[in-house]
Amino acid sequence: MEFVTGFFYFFSAVLLFAGFRVITARNPVHAVLYLMLAFSQAAALWLLLKAEFLGIALVLVYLGAVMVLFLFVVMMLDINVDAMRAGFWKHLPLALLLGALVSAELIAVLWTGFPTATADAAVTGRAMHAADHRNTYELGRLLYSDYLYPIQVAAVILLVAMIAAIALTLRGRKDTKTIDPGLQVRARAADRLRVVSVPAAKVAAAPEAAKEEQA
């Protein structure tokens, strides 16, 4: 086993373990930390494949900015984990069915959409390039030519995830004290305040105080 191959299997094993712990960790903060570990191992795999731009972008953009923001947000939110896991077993069959469907679609896209690489480049990953070879230019050319269909599928998946996040955030919740801005604008002083005329009444004095006044 070569030196690079050993590192590939090591990073892959840690990546699979971290990905599994992301969906099985009971604490949301621990899940975010495992996701950061998974991103770091994926960046290491990109570096082994000589895709330095993807590796650095994964570290700087996702690991250094997005996931740190996620970590701070999760730490500030008071998430009730027991309430979130209340319907886990109830919805598990549907979740497994949808997961199997998405996995089948991804396998179909990856199996038929990618061109067959040469044996030397697939096994060793040491294709020789000229000194002025631009990794970023080649990446953009491949993404929007040979891999255009997988990029469109990934874009649709991200769009669906974004719409789902917006729908979950803006749904009507009963445990929040929200106020309709339209009702605030249409509010009038007569609806908020009513002056009531109350006649003055003299409070009867206590018996001991009455005797003292008579004395």
**What's the mean pLDDT in 138-162?**
86
Q: What's the CATH number where 42 sits?
A: 1.20.120.1200
CA 62 and chain centroid, separation: 12
**What's the mean pLDDT in 68-82?**
71
Q: Would you state the pLDDT for residue 204? A: 62
CA angle 123, 118, 12 (to 5 degrees): 30
Residue 93 falls inside a structural domain: no
**What's the mean pLDDT in 110-135?**
57
Residue 129 falls inside a structural domain: no
Residue 195 falls inside a structural domain: no
Backbone angles phi, psi at 74, to 5 degrees: -65, -35
Q: Which residue has the higher pLDDT, 5 or 117?
A: 5
- Give the whole-angstrom CA distance, residue 116 versus residue 122: 9
- Give the whole-angstrom CA distance, residue 43 versus residue 52: 9
CA angle 110, 111, 116 (to 5 degrees): 100
With contact defined as beta carbons under 8 Å apart, do 46 and 8 qualify? Answer: no
Which token pair is 177? 């004290």
Print the domain residue range for 61: 1-85
pLDDT at 103 over 80: yes
Tally of residues, the chain: 215
Residue 184 falls inside a structural domain: no
CA 178 and chain centroid, separation: 24
pTM over 0.85: no
Residue 76 DSSP SS3: helix
What average pLDDT does the structure give for the chain?
77
**What's the mean pLDDT in 34-47?**
90
Q: Which residue has the higher pLDDT, 80 or 215?
A: 80
Residue 61 falls inside a structural domain: yes
Residue 213 falls inside a structural domain: no
Residue 109 falls inside a structural domain: no
- Per the structure, the count of domains in the chain is 1
Residue 22 falls inside a structural domain: yes
pLDDT at 112 over 70: yes
